[in-house]
Amino acid sequence: MQFQLIDSHCHIHFRAYRDDMDEVINRAVDNGIAMITVGTQTDTSSAAVAVAERYDGVWAAIGLHPNHLHKQEFIDTNEIIKELPPSEEIKSILRRVENIKKIEW
């Protein structure tokens, strides 16, 4: 499918969409809208990856939002990557930025 628009920052995997997430995603994709669903902590980043792997036209952004940092203890930003389920798509993206920061798998 060719997409006409990309929602570059959504949270389609959050609880607010638990009852109609599939319907909302399918309606968007059917209308040529792709989306990047954004995680804000370890568990929501993991959920974003899971949703992105289920749908063409949905990609995940993983991260730690500053508002959530007090809820988690971590040594460095590599920790969130190590806790996520294995995803070749994420690893591929991260390999492209290895020249900025070395990420060990």
- The number of angstroms, rounded, from the C-alpha of 51 to the middle of its chain's C-alpha atoms is 8
Residue 92 near residue 60, CB atoms below 8 Å: no
pLDDT value of residue 101: 47
Structure confidence at residue 43 (pLDDT) = 86
pLDDT of residue 70: 58
Q: What is the pLDDT of residue 99?
A: 42
- pLDDT value at position 9? 92
pLDDT at 2: 87
All domains of the chain in start order, with CATH? 5-96 (3.20.20.140)
- Beta carbons of 63 and 50 less than 8 angstroms apart: no
Q: What does the pLDDT read at residue 63?
A: 81
Which residue positions in the chain have pLDDT lower than 70? 67-105
Question: Considering the entire predicted model, what is its pTM?
Answer: 0.66
